[in-house]
């Protein structure tokens, strides 16, 4: 029997930060820092920090706002990161809480309950803790059976998890798999760095994967194939980890949060992603022109435009149009959740047998594509 995606869910945090709000707080931080170090700056011992700008952000990225779970800490120029309260071990953790919300929506869409789930894959660019696995906490909160585990392939966590889910169902080791992507990017973004402070937003997505003959949802998407690839690069990197203490390095040092060589990433990843999709489709006997919709990773508008141009040629529709819907203007980059938000929010208007491609690309580098057909 075919393996299908039978439900999707989306947890959207309660707060938005517009580019104007973000830049205002950032510039206040810059002014405070420059005043604090005025002497060293005047003596040429330290470079002055530069202001950010709304125009730059929109032009360079296409991002207009982002959702965050906690806003006041991010916009506090004396802090510049969210304010979360540590929870006791007995309380559901924040990452599990947003995963459960997204999961419940996906289950509802699939016509299932937590008890139907027998595998939970929590796939995200960062985990709240090392263990016990977030997935096992989510499994318990939903009343699911079977097993759960966490996996991290940065921006490609969701597509890589989808392949694991499809394989588990195909092999019969699970009947109904929940994939969740809780991305609390606000906690590991460097909000004090103008090169990247605008890039990320918080969100959680969820997917239900099962066999077509167990699916009861009105709308299901057959997974025709998955293709994963990785190629090592330090151009996107976060050195935060359990070795920091033993290495006597500061957990607050710049290299312990997100950093990247944005230009290099742009240049290197666009051709990788386009070629990856082309080769995947070719292996399935398909061509890009036969695909009705591309749900691409949401990092940068220009990047998606180039990927689509390479796939479809210049006269064809652009990214941001119906063929490659854009959600990053509203959500910013949500790491692994981006292409799944696009799939969740923009799959209307497709008919039975229409083809689509979900594709992620990002840190690692990692690229994952999933070719689906509407049933």
Backbone angles phi, psi at 24, to 5 degrees: -60, -45
Tell me the C-alpha distance between 53 and 195, whole Å. 11
CB nearer to ligand CO8: give 25 or 215. Answer: 25
The reply on whether position 4 binds ligand CO8 by CB under 6 A is no
Q: How far is the CB of 8 from ligand CO8 (least distance, A)?
A: 21
CB nearer to ligand CO8: give 220 or 260. Answer: 260
- Residue 291 pairs in a beta bridge with 355
| Binding-residue pattern over the window 98 to 137 for ligand CO8, x denoting contact by CB under 6 A | ---------------------------x------------
Candidates 122, 155, 204, 359; catalytic one: 155
CB nearer to ligand CO8: give 164 or 304. Answer: 304
The reply on whether position 52 binds ligand CO8 by CB under 6 A is yes
Q: How far is the CB of 74 from ligand CO8 (least distance, A)?
A: 12
Beta strand 221-230 pairing with 366-374: antiparallel
The reply on whether position 299 binds ligand CO8 by CB under 6 A is yes
The reply on whether position 66 binds ligand CO8 by CB under 6 A is no
Beta strand 176-183 pairing with 203-211: antiparallel
Select from 22, 203, 359, 363 the one that contacts ligand CO8 (CB under 6 A): 363
The reply on whether position 360 binds ligand CO8 by CB under 6 A is no
Q: How far is the CB of 324 from ligand CO8 (least distance, A)?
A: 15
The residue count of the chain comes to: 375
Select from 162, 236, 357, 371 the one that contacts ligand CO8 (CB under 6 A): 236
Select from 10, 17, 94, 189 the one that contacts ligand CO8 (CB under 6 A): 189
Report whether 242 contacts 175 (CB < 8 A): no
The reply on whether position 217 binds ligand CO8 by CB under 6 A is no
CB nearer to ligand CO8: give 104 or 244. Answer: 244
Report whether 344 contacts 281 (CB < 8 A): no
Q: Using CB under 6 A, which residues numbered 194 to 213 contact ligand CO8?
A: 194-195, 198, 200
SS3 assignment for the chain: CCEEEEEEEEECCCEEEEHHHHHHHHHHHHHHHHHHCHHHHHCCCCCCCCCCCHHHHHHHHCCCEEEECCCCCCCCCCCCCCCCCCCCCCCCCHHHHHHHHHHHHHHHHHCCCHHHCCEEEEECCCCCCCCCCHHHHHHHHHCCCCEEEEECCHHHHHHHHHHHHHHHHHHCCCCEEEEEEEECHHHCCCCCCCCCCCCECCEEEEEEEEEHHHCCCCCCEEEEEEEEEECCCCCEECCCCCCCCCCCCCCCCHHHCCEECHHHHHHHHHHHHHHHHHHHHHHCCCCHHHEEEEEECCCCHHHHHHHHHHHHCCCCCCECCCCECCCHHHHCECHHHHHHHHHHHCCCCCCCCCEEEEEEEECCCEEEEEEEEEC
The reply on whether position 56 binds ligand CO8 by CB under 6 A is yes
The reply on whether position 300 binds ligand CO8 by CB under 6 A is yes
Q: List b or e across 89-111, with b for residues whose CB sees 16 or more CB atoms inside 10 angstroms.
A: eeeebbbbbbbbbbbbbbbebbe
CB nearer to ligand CO8: give 139 or 336. Answer: 336
For the question of residue 196 being annotated catalytic, the response is no
The reply on whether position 60 binds ligand CO8 by CB under 6 A is yes
The reply on whether position 229 binds ligand CO8 by CB under 6 A is no
| Binding-residue pattern over the window 144 to 183 for ligand CO8, x denoting contact by CB under 6 A | ----------xx----------------------------
The reply on whether position 73 binds ligand CO8 by CB under 6 A is no
The reply on whether position 82 binds ligand CO8 by CB under 6 A is no
The span of 78-86, 165-173, 187-195, 243-251 binding ligand CO8 (CB under 6 A) equals 187-195
CB nearer to ligand CO8: give 56 or 149. Answer: 56
For binding to ligand CO8 (CB under 6 A), which residues are involved? 52-53, 56-57, 60-61, 125, 154-155, 185, 188-189, 194-195, 198, 200, 236, 258, 260, 262-263, 265-266, 299-300, 303, 333, 335, 362-363
Catalytic residue numbers read 155
């Amino acid at each position: 029997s075919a393996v299908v995606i039978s439900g999707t869910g989306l947890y959207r945090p309660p707060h938005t930060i517009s580019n104007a709000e973000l830049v205002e707080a950032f510039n206040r931080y810059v002014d405070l820092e420059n005043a604090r170090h005025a002497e060293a700056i005047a003596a040429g011992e330290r470079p002055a920090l530069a202001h950010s700008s709304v125009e730059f952000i929109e032009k360079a990225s296409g991002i207009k706002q982002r959702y965050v779970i906690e806003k006041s800490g991010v916009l506090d120029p004396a802090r510049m990161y969210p304010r979360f309260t540590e929870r006791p071990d007995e309380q559901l953790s924040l990452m599990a809480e947003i995963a459960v919300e997204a999961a419940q929506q996906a289950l509802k869409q699939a016509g299932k309950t937590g008890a139907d789930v027998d595998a939970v894959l929590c796939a995200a660019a960062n985990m709240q803790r090392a263990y016990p696995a977030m997935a096992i906490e989510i499994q318990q909160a939903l009343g699911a059976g079977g097993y759960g585990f966490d996996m991290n392939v940065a921006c490609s966590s969701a597509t890589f998890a989808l392949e694991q889910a499809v394989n588990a169902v195909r092999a019969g080791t699970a009947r109904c798999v929940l994939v969740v992507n809780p991305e609390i990017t606000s906690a590991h973004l460097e909000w004090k760095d103008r090169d990247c402070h605008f890039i990320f937003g918080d969100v959680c997505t969820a997917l239900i994967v099962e066999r077509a003959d167990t699916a009861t949802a009105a709308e299901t998407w057959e997974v025709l194939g998955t293709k994963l690839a990785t190629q090592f690069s330090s151009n996107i990197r976060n050195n935060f980890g359990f070795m920091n203490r033993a290495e006597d390095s500061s957990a607050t040092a710049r290299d312990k949060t997100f950093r990247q060589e944005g230009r290099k990433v742009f240049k290197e990843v666009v051709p990788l992603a386009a070629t990856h999709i082309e080769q995947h489709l070719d292996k399935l006997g398909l061509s890009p022109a036969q695909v009705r919709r591309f749900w691409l990773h949401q990092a940068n508008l220009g990047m998606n435009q180039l990927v689509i141009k390479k796939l479809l040629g210049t006269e064809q529709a652009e990214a941001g149009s119906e063929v490659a819907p854009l959600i990053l203007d509203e959500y910013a980059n949500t790491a692994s959740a981006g292409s799944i938000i696009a799939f969740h929010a923009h799959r209307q208007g497709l008919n039975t047998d229409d083809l689509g491609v979900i594709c992620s690309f990002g840190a690692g580098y990692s690229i994952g594509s999933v070719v689906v057909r509407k049933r």
